[in-house]
């Protein structure tokens, strides 16, 4: 049975990846900071799906914790066949309003950690001739309106680079581009206004996002955008000149400071 390591598995999309992959008979290693939530999820999944679930409590913004997760990924005695780089969050404030520690933590969790973990996982996957990396980006990757968008853009471009590098190895790289999804992501005071700002039709369910992501992964699709409506949003957003999307950064900054 193949083993999957999922970051940010304590809630939202990560927990949904855990449930769907366990239902498909994969053993799991689940990673996040909240050990209690991970333990609770592990207990439920073990009893419902009968698979093995390892809990790895780690803050991906802390180098020693990140290295513990990297060491687990590189452990040839218990190989990982799929790495889901899912952990992430938005600060809801502009670059100018954030202190450096906040900005650096976002880079650590959403840029450095996915790169480090892919770097740890890939040598074993390539040597075995099979495996996959699945990165969770965002529709924000198509916009140039926040550092969060820039990190998610990096993850999209990083996946393209990996997919090219991995051609012919038997190992694949995919990225999923979710639109607004009902998780804990928008529960912070800085982001809670999203719940009222967007109509219910704009919101996706974690179940649908993860189902589409895993179907794309099985087909080895490099870029997976769940739902027709967000595929349209992606096409439109990519056609808008950067000079226009840049202006939305200034509007957001004035609104949030």
Ligand X SMILES: NC(=O)c1ccc[n+]([C@@H]2O[C@H](COP(=O)([O-])OP(=O)(O)OC[C@H]3O[C@@H](n4cnc5c(N)ncnc54)[C@H](OP(=O)(O)O)[C@@H]3O)[C@@H](O)[C@H]2O)c1
Contact residues toward ligand X (CB under 6 A) are 7-14, 32-34, 37, 59-61, 86-89, 109, 136, 138, 178, 180-181, 183-185
Which CB sits closer to ligand X, 68 or 128? 68
Shortest separation between residue 43's beta carbon and ligand X, angstroms: 16
Contact assessment for residue 17 and residue 86, using Cβ atoms and an 8 Å cutoff: yes
Shortest separation between residue 16's beta carbon and ligand X, angstroms: 8
Give the neighbor-by-neighbor strand order of the sheet with 131-136: 53-57, 27-32, 3-7, 82-85, 131-136, 171-176, 223-224
Which CB sits closer to ligand X, 131 or 179? 179
Shortest separation between residue 7's beta carbon and ligand X, angstroms: 6
Q: What are phi and psi of 38, to 5 degrees?
A: -65, -45
Which CB sits closer to ligand X, 1 or 216? 216
Nearest-10 Cα torsion for 162, 174, 65, 190: 120
Q: Give the closest residue to 88 by CA, choosing from 101, 105, 100.
A: 105
Which CB sits closer to ligand X, 86 or 147? 86
Which alpha helices (H) appear in 167-205, and where do they start and end? 194-197
Shortest separation between residue 126's beta carbon and ligand X, angstroms: 25
Contact assessment for residue 29 and residue 3, using Cβ atoms and an 8 Å cutoff: yes
Instruction: Provide, for the chain, the percentages of residues in helix, strand and coil under a 3-state DSSP scheme, each rounded to the nearest 5.
Output: 55, 15, 30
Which CB sits closer to ligand X, 81 or 135? 135
Shortest separation between residue 38's beta carbon and ligand X, angstroms: 7
């Amino acid at each position: 049975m193949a083993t999957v390591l999922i970051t940010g598995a304590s809630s939202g999309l990560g927990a949904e990846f855990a449930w769907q992959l366990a239902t498909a008979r994969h053993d799991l290693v689940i990673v996040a900071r909240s050990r209690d939530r991970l333990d609770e999820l592990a207990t439920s999944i073990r009893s419902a799906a009968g698979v093995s679930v390892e809990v790895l409590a780690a803050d991906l913004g802390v180098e020693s914790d990140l290295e513990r997760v990297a060491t687990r990924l590189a452990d040839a005695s218990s190989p990982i066949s799929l790495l889901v780089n899912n952990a992430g969050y938005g600060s809801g404030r502009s670059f100018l309003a954030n202190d450096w520690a906040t900005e650096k933590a976002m880079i650590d969790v959403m840029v450095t950690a996915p790169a480090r973990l892919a770097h740890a996982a890939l040598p074993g996957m390539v040597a075995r001739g099979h495996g996959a990396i699945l990165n969770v980006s965002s529709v924000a990757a198509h916009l140039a309106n926040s550092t969060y968008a820039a990190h998610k853009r990096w993850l999209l471009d990083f996946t393209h680079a990996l997919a090219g590098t991995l051609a012919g190895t038997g190992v694949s790289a995919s990225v999923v581009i979710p639109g607004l999804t009902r998780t804990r992501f928008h529960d912070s005071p800085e982001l809670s206004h999203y719940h009222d700002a967007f109509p219910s039709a704009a919101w996706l369910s974690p179940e649908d996002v993860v189902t589409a992501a895993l179907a794309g992964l099985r087909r080895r699709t490099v870029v997976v955008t769940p739902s027709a409506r967000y595929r349209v949003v992606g096409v439109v957003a990519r056609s808008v000149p950067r000079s226009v999307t840049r202006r939305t950064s200034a509007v957001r900054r004035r609104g949030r400071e």
